Structure 1
Amino acid sequence: MAVMLAAVIGALPCRASEVPQHLTIASEGARPPYNYFDGDKLAGFEIDLGHDLCRRMAVTCTFVPESWDDLIPGLVARRYDAFMAAMEITPAREALIDFSAPYVRMPSAFLVRKDTDLRDATPDALAGRRIGVEKGGTHETFLRKIYPASKIATYGSFADAVLDLEAGRVDAVIGDKDAVVAFLDTRRDASCCKVLADVPRYPAFFGNGIGIGLRKGDTALKTAFDRALVASMADGTFTKIRERYFKFSIN
């Protein structure tokens, strides 16, 4: 990923004088391990990564909390310079703001019981099977389009879907891999289940990854962040930060 980013970013102009010497970066503090509160301070993967990027850009930065619904309006209103809040890059959002190059491309995964007879998660393999999914999200849209022969059971949350998986009322549950792994790592009764397969990324359903939110026209800041991301990935710092929070590749 770093090599591809470098090839694109290397030719971009950027004058250091165009980047503010102090940046205010918003985050929600409500989606661990990306961002959360440790006492009264924001913490998490994105906070650690943000500080590394600011160091590479030779600027100071402060993280401030912001609600999810106000992230884009607050950015446009210039209440902060950028945000790092586990926000997927989608065409609808790109119509309003710019994003850095993606630093996370979170895979999705199918969770099944260990006693399942399923050997893969292709649409043919899951034809006629019941798949649990959180209602109203991208995973439901994906299933209804790509798995039309499966029976889709919707739930108020991923956790509710998993309860029915444990009880044998569904054959599989789909979710972001971080949520799937967190369930397996933290639930005392998670020995019931295992990851059957990762889901190939479909940008049409899952967006183009997670990036730093930036105002339209802040091209120097975007280029500075992109170059810092390339450097962090290239020298291994990004991986070291990632390994504190995720046990698998996220890009």
Structure 2
Amino acid sequence: MKFFNYTVVFCLIFLNKAKGDGDDAEVADNVENYIWNFFKGDAGDYEPINNCKGEFMTCETRNASVVYTHWGRSDCTSDTSDVVYTGYIAGGHHSHSGAGTNPLCLPETPEYNNGLIASGIYRSLIYGSELQTSSYPPWAGLHDKDPLCAVCLAQGRSTSLMIPAKRTCPQGWTKEYEGLLMGSYYKETAGHEYLCVDLNPEVRPGSSPNHDGFLIHNAVGVCGSSLACPPYVHNAELSCVVCTW
């Protein structure tokens, strides 16, 4: 019996020294109460305390992180994410049938492997991007300008999601930014993926000349097809939101 008493005393002293402050102290107190009750014979089932905050947060995701691209801006939402790098939106040429379909966020300071640079015609060609917004009055002044981008790291979250035609995130998710859904012109030879471009886009200074390349157009809904109208509205610019969880 003395052995058990000494064991209890040792465990309680150890917990008292180790528990410290804050969440760890709460967990240690919970274990301490369980040890007392265990040796008294009425401990029941141990129920650990989950200190992970947020309705959808778990201990597994508390230390996780996820990367997303902030299209149209050179920053990230300061209170939710950190900047990994900033750059320029780029991709394949709108008139090339073999152009890549995914947009890229090219960093501001490229690094080349000089030993592998060679001449040749069989290449995949990457062009800078331009906003094609002359017919959209709020962004008419941004027409033919080159939008920026940023790659962002969201700490404590494990996945990201772009929701078209929404401005808000599902309950429990973190809103990173909202914007306009944008894509390629439907008559262009090369199509590309849709982007959620920030509502307040930044552009590269001095980038007004028309060079074409990777072109970005507003996306609108088309009624009279299989699109549900209402609630969708014909030719209305579609919004978008980027969320993390």
Shorter-chain TM-score above 0.5: no
In terms of Rg, which structure is larger?
2
Larger relative contact order (Cα-Cα within 8 Å, sequence gap ≥ 6): 1
User: TM-score category by the smaller chain?
Assistant: under 0.3
More helix by percentage: 1
Query: Normalised by the size of structure 1, how large is the TM-score?
Result: 0.21
Query: Normalised by the size of structure 2, how large is the TM-score?
Result: 0.21
More strand by percentage: 2
